[in-house]
């Protein structure tokens, strides 16, 4: 509906004749451009896969596998994206996933069946998020420190509960969710959960007062406070949301692996933060999109898959991921600078 013409120069003289009304969509335009370039990267990766390992890469089974793998980290990334846009950081997501998956797969919890296990993962996630949020918002502690402390303690607690052993799930209903029989029109249930969380996150960020306040608090906390927004409450809610996403991801991981383990979710925090950054989220807060983060997750997961199919070592894979992070941020810097110059 709007022309994509470059914006006019900012009017400095107020009594000078106003420049012709031109719709400024520089910001919307950059974001879209960024998403397009991410889609481009994804397309290139798919072409690489189709050329190097055509039969394996393009098989339905492999696509389902890639999407399933992306789902668990994707749900975590949605939560982390909110926290970062709100001006914070959450380093504890991987540890929370581990703790929730272990807690929900103890013999005692398994007695309550599927619903009991699901409830347990969600409550553990929310509980950890609550602690993070209270420490950050009312502590007040720097988010980096508070969530680093949570990372250490949640991993420790997960190890203590499981005693370092893999806890196998005996509840058939949970295991069946991961089986091919449960696929809806060829789509695994986990992918559906991921899609639902993505949609909810997209709506929440772009279309609700909660999302708008998140952007405000991350963009300029002082201005948000002076505009009457309860900044501390908003921060608390953001960590609760991140914890909730970890709980959901933990349940998905239990379904996927049929077990709970204290080593689950290892380095998820780094993958989630990297995906959000690649997706265009500003680490300093105030700007970011769910779409971008999800594209970031898909790019990372596809790379992992490609390297595995081509029998390349994971060290090369790590180097490639690092390079992509640097490239994404550099490109982003350019486009932002250009839009700001208009």
Partner 1 sequence: MAPEQDQPLPAPLLTMSGITKSFPGVRALDGVDLDIVPGEVHCLLGQNGAGKSTLIKVLAGAHQPDEGEVTWRGKTVRPKSPTAAVRLGIATIHQELDLVEHLSVAENVFLGHEIATGGFVRAREARARTAALLTRLGHGEIDPNTLVGALPAAGRQIVSMARALSHEARLIVMDEPSAALGPDEVENLFRIVEALTAEGVAVLYISHRLEEIRRIGDRVTVLKDGRTAARGLPARTTPTRDVVALMTGRDVEYVFPDRPARPAEAAPVLRVEGLAREGEFAPLDLDVRPGEIVGLAGLVGSGRSEILETIYGARRPDAGRVLVDGRPLRPGSVTAAVRAGLGLAPEERKTQGLLLLESVTRNVTLSTLSRFARGGLLDRTRERATAHAAVRELSLRPDDPDRPVRTLSGGNQQKAVLARWLLRDCRVLLLDEPTRGVDVGARAELYALIRRLADAGRAVLLVSSEVPEVLGLADRVLVLREGRVVHTAPARELDEHRVLDLVMEGSTPC
* 67-126 binders of partner 1 (CB under 8 A): none
* 174-203 binders of partner 1 (CB under 8 A): 203
Pick from 187, 199, 223, 312 the residue near partner 1 by CB under 8 A: 223
Handedness of CA 301, 261, 268, 212 (dihedral sign): positive
Pick from 165, 207, 333, 338 the residue near partner 1 by CB under 8 A: 207
Smallest separation, CB 217 to partner 1 (Å): 10
Pick from 163, 180, 185, 209 the residue near partner 1 by CB under 8 A: 209
Specify whether the CB–CB gap between 100 and 124 falls below 8 A.
yes
The smaller minimum CB distance to partner 1, of residues 112 and 210, is found at 210
* 7-26 binders of partner 1 (CB under 8 A): 7-8, 10-15, 18-19, 21-26
Specify whether the CB–CB gap between 151 and 94 falls below 8 A.
yes
By rule CB under 8 A, what string of x and - marks binding of each residue 279-318 to partner 1?
Answer: -------xx-------------------------------
Q: How far apart are the first and last CA of the chain?
A: 20
Smallest separation, CB 227 to partner 1 (Å): 5
The smaller minimum CB distance to partner 1, of residues 284 and 314, is found at 284
Residues 6+ positions from 26 with CB-CB distance below 8 Å: 6, 7, 339, 342
Torsion region of 13: left, alpha or beta (phi above 0 gives left; psi -120 to 50 gives alpha): beta
61 forms part of the interface with partner 1 (CB under 8 A):
no
Specify whether the CB–CB gap between 97 and 265 falls below 8 A.
yes
Smallest separation, CB 11 to partner 1 (Å): 6
Could you please report the per-residue DSSP string of 144-196? HHHHHHHHHHHHHHHHHHHTT--EE---HHHHHHTSGGG-BTTB-HHHHHHHH
Smallest separation, CB 9 to partner 1 (Å): 8
Specify whether the CB–CB gap between 76 and 253 falls below 8 A.
no
How many residues touch partner 1 under the rule CB under 8 A: the total is 40
Write the CA distances from 235 to 47, 134, 275, integer angstroms.
Answer: 42, 9, 21
Pick from 215, 272, 278, 295 the residue near partner 1 by CB under 8 A: 215
Smallest separation, CB 264 to partner 1 (Å): 33
Smallest separation, CB 167 to partner 1 (Å): 38
Smallest separation, CB 119 to partner 1 (Å): 24
Q: Which helix (H) or strand (E) holds 260?
A: strand 259-260
The smaller minimum CB distance to partner 1, of residues 193 and 224, is found at 224
The smaller minimum CB distance to partner 1, of residues 7 and 37, is found at 7
Which pair of tokens denotes residue 165?
Answer: 């052993």
Which range, of 3-11, 42-50, 70-78, 253-261, touches partner 1 by CB under 8 A? 3-11
| Burial letters 204-232, b for 16+ CB under 10 A, else e | bbeeeeebebbbbbbbebeebeeeebebb
Residue tagged 């996630």 (tokens): 125
* 226-255 binders of partner 1 (CB under 8 A): 226-230
Smallest separation, CB 39 to partner 1 (Å): 24
What are the residues binding partner 1 (CB under 8 A)? 2, 7-8, 10-15, 18-19, 21-27, 203, 207-209, 212-213, 215-216, 219-220, 222-230, 286-287, 340
């Amino acid at each position: 509906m709007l022309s994509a013409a470059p914006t006019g120069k900012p009017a400095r003289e107020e009594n000078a004749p106003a420049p012709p009304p031109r719709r400024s969509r520089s910001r919307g335009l950059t974001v879209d451009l960024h998403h397009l370039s991410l889609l481009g990267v994804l397309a290139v990766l798919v072409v690489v896969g189709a050329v190097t390992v055509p039969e394996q890469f393009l098989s339905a089974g492999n696509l389902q596998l890639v999407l399933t793998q992306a789902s668990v980290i994707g749900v975590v990334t949605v939560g982390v994206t909110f926290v970062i846009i709100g001006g914070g950081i959450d380093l504890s997501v991987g540890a929370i996933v581990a703790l929730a998956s272990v807690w929900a797969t103890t013999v005692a919890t398994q007695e309550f069946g599927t619903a009991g296990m699901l409830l347990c993962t969600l409550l553990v996630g929310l509980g950890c998020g609550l602690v993070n949020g209270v420490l950050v918002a009312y502590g007040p502690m720097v988010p980096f420190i508070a969530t680093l402390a949570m990372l250490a303690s949640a991993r420790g607690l997960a190890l203590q509960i499981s005693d370092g052993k893999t806890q196998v799930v005996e509840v058939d209903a949970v295991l069946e969710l991961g089986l091919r029989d449960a696929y809806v029109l060829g789509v695994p249930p986990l992918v559906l959960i991921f899609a639902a969380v993505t949609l909810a996150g997209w709506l929440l960020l772009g279309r609700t007062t909660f999302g708008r306040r998140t952007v405000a608090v991350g963009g300029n906390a002082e201005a948000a406070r002076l505009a009457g927004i309860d900044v501390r409450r908003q921060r608390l809610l953001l960590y609760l949301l991140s914890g909730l996403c970890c709980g959901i991801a933990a349940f998905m991981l239990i379904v996927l692996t049929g077990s709970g383990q204290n080593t689950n979710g290892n380095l998820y925090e780094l993958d989630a933060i990297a995906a959000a950054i690649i997706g265009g989220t500003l680490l300093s807060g105030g700007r970011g999109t769910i779409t971008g983060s999800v594209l970031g997750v898909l790019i990372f997961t596809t790379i992992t898959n490609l390297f595995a199919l081509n029998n390349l070592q994971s060290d090369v894979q790590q180097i490639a991921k690092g390079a992509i992070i640097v490239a994404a941020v550099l490109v982003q810097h350019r486009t932002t600078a250009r839009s700001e110059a208009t």
